[in-house]
Amino acid sequence: RYSHLVPDEAGPRRTGEGRDDWPPEEFRSKTGPYAELGRPQEARDEEFERIITERRVIDDVEPSEGDQVIFDGDQLHRLLHAREVYTLFYVGFAANMCVLHRDYGMRAMAARGYDVVLVRDATSAIEMADTLDNLEITAASVRDVEVGVGYSVLTGDLIESAEPA
């Protein structure tokens, strides 16, 4: 009933790179006349630079020969289709960011129709100084999943359910 308020031709256009032309690129990147709107940049110390430079995947989860390494949600979707997988289990770090919000994360894959399950005690969020002691952001992320995204399970229950009866 209200669709007449904004004509279709008034909307943003796709650029050659597949992005909308609005907001302008300078605004998105906070450059040019929008530079002062960007987040303040904190100085990085030597320890931070060392950690970033030397970061790597730990040996216990390093991809092995024949493992599939996924770059984005489309690749994951194609792999799951080829293998006829319907249910995804999520573990890891940044439950409040990557686990939930990346294009291969729980929200995106649930929107594609998959059942998504967060392994609660094998996941943590990026906490702040005032939330770290009680893992408050982790707890909120788990609740977010349980209320509106998918399911959650404890590792012990998951292992027990996979054992022969």
Give the domain ranges of the chain: 67-162
Q: Which residues, other chains included, contact 13 with Cβ-Cβ below 8 Å and sequence gap of 6+?
A: 20, 21, 22
- CA 85 from chain center: how many Å? 20
Q: Which of 122, 115, 124, 113 is nearest to 158 (CA)?
A: 122
Q: What CATH number matches the domain at 67-162, 3.40.228.10, 3.40.50.850, 3.20.20.150, 3.40.718.10? A: 3.40.50.850
pTM of the model: 0.72
Region for residue 92 given its phi and psi (left: phi exceeds 0; alpha: psi -120 to 50; beta: otherwise): left
Q: List per-residue pLDDT tens for the chain, 165 residues long.
A: 555 666 666 666 666 676 777 888 899 999 999 999 998 887 778 888 898 899 888 888 889 999 998 889 999 999 999 999 999 999 988 999 999 999 999 999 999 999 999 999 999 999 999 999 999 999 999 999 999 999 999 999 999 998 887
First to last CA, the chain: 57
